[in-house]
Protein backbone atom coordinates (compact mmCIF):
# COMPACT_ATOMS: atom_id res chain seq x y z
CA UNK A 1 0.00 0.00 0.00
CA UNK A 2 2.90 2.38 0.62
CA UNK A 3 3.91 2.33 -3.05
CA UNK A 4 0.82 4.51 -3.82
CA UNK A 5 2.29 7.23 -1.67
CA UNK A 6 5.50 7.17 -3.73
CA UNK A 7 3.55 7.33 -6.99
CA UNK A 8 1.48 10.25 -5.71
CA UNK A 9 4.63 12.06 -4.51
CA UNK A 10 6.29 11.55 -7.89
CA UNK A 11 3.22 12.95 -9.66
CA UNK A 12 3.21 15.99 -7.37
CA UNK A 13 6.92 16.60 -7.97
CA UNK A 14 6.60 16.32 -11.74
CA UNK A 15 3.57 18.63 -11.74
CA UNK A 16 5.37 21.20 -9.62
CA UNK A 17 8.41 21.08 -11.89
CA UNK A 18 6.25 21.60 -14.95
CA UNK A 19 4.51 24.57 -13.34
CA UNK A 20 7.82 26.15 -12.37
CA UNK A 21 8.98 26.02 -15.99
CA UNK A 22 5.74 26.61 -17.89
CA UNK A 23 4.18 29.53 -16.01
CA UNK A 24 7.01 32.05 -16.50
CA UNK A 25 7.24 31.15 -20.18
CA UNK A 26 3.49 31.63 -20.58
CA UNK A 27 3.64 35.02 -18.85
CA UNK A 28 6.52 36.07 -21.10
CA UNK A 29 4.62 35.10 -24.26
CA UNK A 30 1.56 37.05 -23.10
CA UNK A 31 3.71 40.10 -22.34
CA UNK A 32 5.35 39.92 -25.77
CA UNK A 33 1.93 39.66 -27.42
CA UNK A 34 0.61 42.68 -25.51
CA UNK A 35 3.72 44.68 -26.41
CA UNK A 36 3.49 43.74 -30.09
CA UNK A 37 -0.17 44.76 -30.31
CA UNK A 38 0.47 48.00 -28.43
CA UNK A 39 3.13 48.92 -31.01
CA UNK A 40 0.75 47.97 -33.83
CA UNK A 41 -2.07 50.13 -32.40
CA UNK A 42 0.35 53.04 -32.00
CA UNK A 43 1.43 52.72 -35.63
CA UNK A 44 -2.22 52.64 -36.74
CA UNK A 45 -2.94 55.82 -34.78
CA UNK A 46 0.09 57.59 -36.25
CA UNK A 47 -0.95 56.61 -39.76
CA UNK A 48 -4.49 57.88 -39.14
CA UNK A 49 -3.10 61.20 -37.89
CA UNK A 50 -0.86 61.52 -40.95
CA UNK A 51 -3.82 60.70 -43.19
CA UNK A 52 -5.90 63.42 -41.56
CA UNK A 53 -3.05 65.92 -41.88
CA UNK A 54 -2.33 65.15 -45.54
CA UNK A 55 -3.93 67.50 -48.03
CA UNK A 56 -4.54 64.99 -50.79
CA UNK A 57 -5.49 61.40 -51.29
CA UNK A 58 -2.93 58.65 -51.54
CA UNK A 59 -4.58 55.41 -52.75
CA UNK A 60 -1.67 53.13 -51.87
CA UNK A 61 -1.51 54.47 -48.33
CA UNK A 62 -5.30 54.20 -47.98
CA UNK A 63 -5.12 50.57 -49.09
CA UNK A 64 -2.28 49.77 -46.69
CA UNK A 65 -4.09 51.36 -43.77
CA UNK A 66 -7.33 49.55 -44.64
CA UNK A 67 -5.49 46.21 -44.78
CA UNK A 68 -3.71 46.90 -41.50
CA UNK A 69 -6.96 47.90 -39.80
CA UNK A 70 -8.73 44.78 -41.05
CA UNK A 71 -5.89 42.56 -39.89
CA UNK A 72 -5.87 44.28 -36.50
CA UNK A 73 -9.60 43.62 -36.16
CA UNK A 74 -8.98 39.91 -36.74
CA UNK A 75 -6.28 39.81 -34.06
CA UNK A 76 -3.70 37.07 -33.97
CA UNK A 77 -0.24 36.51 -32.67
CA UNK A 78 2.93 38.56 -32.68
CA UNK A 79 3.42 37.93 -36.39
CA UNK A 80 0.07 39.51 -37.23
CA UNK A 81 0.85 42.45 -34.96
CA UNK A 82 4.19 42.94 -36.73
CA UNK A 83 2.48 42.89 -40.13
CA UNK A 84 -0.06 45.47 -38.95
CA UNK A 85 2.72 47.65 -37.58
CA UNK A 86 4.77 47.50 -40.78
CA UNK A 87 1.80 48.25 -43.04
CA UNK A 88 0.70 51.16 -40.87
CA UNK A 89 4.24 52.56 -40.74
CA UNK A 90 4.53 52.35 -44.50
CA UNK A 91 1.20 54.13 -44.96
CA UNK A 92 2.31 56.78 -42.47
CA UNK A 93 5.54 57.29 -44.38
CA UNK A 94 3.67 57.66 -47.68
CA UNK A 95 1.30 60.27 -46.23
CA UNK A 96 4.15 62.20 -44.63
CA UNK A 97 6.03 62.25 -47.94
CA UNK A 98 2.88 63.41 -49.75
CA UNK A 99 2.36 66.18 -47.19
CA UNK A 100 5.90 67.44 -47.71
CA UNK A 101 5.31 67.65 -51.43
The DSSP string of 45-86 is: HHHHHHHHH-SS--HHHHHHHHHHHHHHHH--SHHHHHHHHH
Given this model, what pLDDT does residue 38 score? 96
| Residue 17 is assigned to a structural domain of this protein | no
List the chain residues with pLDDT less than 50: none
| Residue 56 is assigned to a structural domain of this protein | yes
| Residue 24 is assigned to a structural domain of this protein | no
Q: Are 16 and 61 in contact (CB under 8 A)?
A: no
Domain count across the chain: 1
| Residue 5 is assigned to a structural domain of this protein | no
| Residue 53 is assigned to a structural domain of this protein | yes
Instruction: Find all residues with CB under 8 Å of 94, minimum gap 6, and list them.
Output: 58, 60, 61, 64
Q: What's the predicted TM-score (pTM) here?
A: 0.77
| Residue 10 is assigned to a structural domain of this protein | no
Given this model, what pLDDT does residue 57 score? 84
Rounded distance, CA 45 to CA 47, Å? 5
| Residue 15 is assigned to a structural domain of this protein | no
Rounded distance, CA 42 to CA 38, Å? 6
Q: Are 55 and 99 in contact (CB under 8 A)?
A: yes
Domain extent, residue 81, equals 30-100
| Residue 84 is assigned to a structural domain of this protein | yes
Tens digits of residue pLDDT in 51-62: 998 887 889 999
Amino acid sequence: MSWWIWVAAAIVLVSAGYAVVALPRQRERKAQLRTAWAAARTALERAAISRDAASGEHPEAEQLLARATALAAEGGGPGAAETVREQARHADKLWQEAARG
